Amino acid sequence: MTAYLQAFDCHTGLGSADETLQGLLAGRVALELQSVSAEPGGEQVPLALRQPTRKVTPPRWWADLLSLLASIPENDWGSARRPVIISSSNFGIDHLYQIGTGLGPGDRARNWATTHGIVAQLQRHFNWGDALHVVSHACVSAQIALCLASEWIETGSVEEVLIVSFDYVGPFVSCGFNSLKILNSGMPAPYRDQEVGSIGLGDGAAWATFSKRQAPWKLEATSLWNEMYQFTANDPSGEGFDAVLQPLSEILSQRKFWVKGHGTGTLEAGRLEAGAVARLFPDKPLVGWKGSLGHSLGSCALVELVLALNGHAEGRVPGTVGSSAPFFSEAVCADPVDVRSMDSVLLLCNAFGGAHGALLISHA
């Protein structure tokens, strides 16, 4: 039994899914230098926000998320046979931070300050059942949710799965990355071979439904690997980047595919990822979009999956926007790629601690 992708949508700092795709194809960069703390005088860092950061309740992103999720097809979501997976890497952490520092708007903020509280708000608003599952594992959160959905459908334990993933950037998150100095005043240039690397952060939300009913796209294979090497760093040998791809090598040998990389703009991870792709799939084009959209954290896998499939519908996908040669690998493409002759896309993610995910989506 195969998991087929039935419907999907997303939005980013460039707008709707279609607006984002067209913007990326045109080389637009959503990232803008803004105060890391959302307060005057803070260090200026690259952020791609859908609305200005404000201390309000409900959070500034709530109405925006609801507008996206309103297009989900009606169904008995949250029932035992149609569960919902909700993934994120921060789940309202800024409201929790506001309460802890005495900056919040009062007790009402507490309903938005925890994962449980936010999931409960979504459940009430959409009248979902109790079969709700939360996945939060840093920047591979949505990737793990996709793997779970595939497994559940393939084993026949469910009929359909709805995945909802969202990450909106706030001062707690941006200041945390800034403290590591990977978020700094530099604009990200994914896979570029240079002396100093940097990332940008961006708002991103997406949803997708999967079922056993045949549809144009199928989730053909998944792979996860965790090095458990160090809190934030990858194993410098690149072992994890190779290990997550090895289980897919046989099936990939039968596919005409391109690679949507993780590509945040950090130097070591960019070098290791580009190197692994070049070694294992030397003739496959590699692109990444975080140089424009910023890193949408735990939701990037689902957001970028939607954009990849929308690009396939047009016959070309964006190149590595916001970056330029020299690259770590000749496989990295700065310009849009013609994918009309290709039947699959390999999507890669990695996260703090050496967590890795790989996902193959193919024409049914």
- pLDDT per position as a tens digit, 48-93: 999 998 888 888 999 999 999 999 999 999 999 999 999 999 997 8
Q: How far is CA 315 from CA 146, 219, 292, 308, 343, in A?
A: 24, 20, 21, 10, 11
Q: pLDDT (tens digit, 9 = 90+) per residue, 247-276?
A: 999 999 999 999 999 999 999 999 999 999
Question: Residues 306, 207: contact at Cβ < 8 Å?
Answer: no
CA distance 212 to 65: 27
Q: Please, what sign has the CA dihedral across residues 209, 321, 293, 133? A: positive
CA distance 344 to 256: 6
Using the predicted structure, report yes or no on whether residue 341 has a pLDDT greater than 90.
yes
Domain of 50 in residue numbering reads as 3-211
Q: Where are the beta strands (DSSP E) in 232-354?
A: 257-260, 286-287, 316-317, 337-338, 344-351
Q: Are residues 301 and 177 in the same domain?
A: no
Phi-psi region of 96 (alpha: psi -120 to 50; beta: other; left: phi over 0): alpha
CATH code of the domain covering residue 159: 3.40.47.10
Q: Are residues 221 and 201 in the same domain?
A: no
Q: Are residues 316 and 358 in the same domain?
A: yes
pTM of the full structure: 0.96
Q: Are residues 171 and 305 in the same domain?
A: no
Q: Are residues 238 and 294 in the same domain?
A: yes
Q: Are residues 72 and 192 in the same domain?
A: yes
How far is C-alpha 48 from the geometric centre of its chain's CA atoms?
A: 14
Instruction: Single out the residue in 211, 241, 258 at which a domain terminates.
Output: 211
Using the predicted structure, report yes or no on whether residue 105 has a pLDDT greater than 60.
no
Total number of domains constituting the chain? 2
Q: Are residues 178 and 305 in the same domain?
A: no
Instruction: Single out the residue in 190, 211, 232 at which a domain terminates.
Output: 211
CA distance 40 to 36: 9
- The reported pLDDT for the residue numbered 302 is 98
Q: Are residues 93 and 187 in the same domain?
A: yes
30-44, 102-116, 272-286: range with lowest mean pLDDT: 102-116
CA distance 165 to 301: 9
Q: Are residues 128 and 52 in the same domain?
A: yes
Using the predicted structure, report yes or no on whether residue 35 has a pLDDT greater than 90.
yes
Q: Which residues, in sequence order, are CB contacts of 198 under 8 Å at separation 6+?
A: 46, 182, 183, 184, 185, 186, 187, 188, 189, 265, 266
- The reported pLDDT for the residue numbered 104 is 54
Instruction: Single out the residue in 147, 177, 211 at which a domain terminates.
Output: 211
- The reported pLDDT for the residue numbered 22 is 98
CA distance 273 to 284: 13
Q: Are residues 129 and 171 in the same domain?
A: yes
Q: Are residues 108 and 140 in the same domain?
A: yes
